Amino acid sequence: MATDPETSNLRAAVEQYLAARPALVRWRQWLAGRRYRVANLGGRAHPLFAIAFQFRDGKRAAELTQALEHDWTEVPAKCREAYDEILFQAPKLVVIQLHRTNVCKCLAHRHVAVREGPFAMPHDAFGGDHAGEMDIAYERVKTWQALPLSETALDAKFLEGSRLEEFHAEQFRLRLLSIVLHETNHLVQPGEPETSIRERSMAFYREALAAYTENAIATLSFTIDRSFSRLG
């Protein structure tokens, strides 16, 4: 999916803003282990996501970036279309604070006010508007039983084809993506009931996972046959 000029300009502006902060501020954050990644949602003009994370969590930040920039483009069109209006109304910039876990044992939260220092106040780099912000506890996302029965059955199916690790990686990224959409929904429509928002994000996850599974299982028999042919 091509990236339009507006998207490129916003991304470049935010990256330049982060790089242009006073050196002392940047070095303090660097020494404290704070890092940032900027990710587009599959080439959409907005929102742009700024992922804030600790150095030790770089791998998870990269997985979240892949979910936003690549996996979003691979889900069925109807899954993306279900969020068209919500994403259109979202802030131009949304900050995602990526944590390992949290005290309340929730998967994620929408923040009423932005806490991440570089984005706490409106700035020309993001159109002079207030940013939105959420946090995600990725260890809780890893262990989240979103669809217990069907996911257990899929574990067995992908294990048969020696593709279980690949499946779990995709499953984790789709969970992250559904949670980002869920919390963005909260940012845009704070008065919408939780049940309605959850139904939308779970439908996205269920249908996206089903589409990935259908495509992947179509190649499982080939993988198994090829393995047997090498043993023959």
Mind listing the pLDDT tens digit for each residue in 163-212? 778 888 999 999 999 999 999 999 999 999 999 999 999 999 999 999 98
Number of Cβ within 10 Å of residue 69's Cβ equals 17
* Through-space distance between the first and last CA atoms of the chain, rounded to whole angstroms: 42
Q: How far apart are CA 15 and CA 105, in angstroms?
A: 32
Residue with the two structure tokens 């106040």: 121
Over range 208-232, report the average pLDDT: 63
Mean pLDDT of all residues belonging to the chain? 87
| Those residues with Cβ within 8 angstroms of residue 115's Cβ, 6 or more apart along the chain or in another chain | 97, 133
pTM: 0.87
pLDDT score of 225: 42
Residue spans per domain, the chain: 5-226
SS3 94: strand
State percent of the chain over pLDDT 90.
Answer: 66
**Local confidence band at 122 (pLDDT 50, 70, 90 cut-offs):** confident
Residue type, position 91, single letter: P
Higher confidence at residue 155 or residue 177? 177
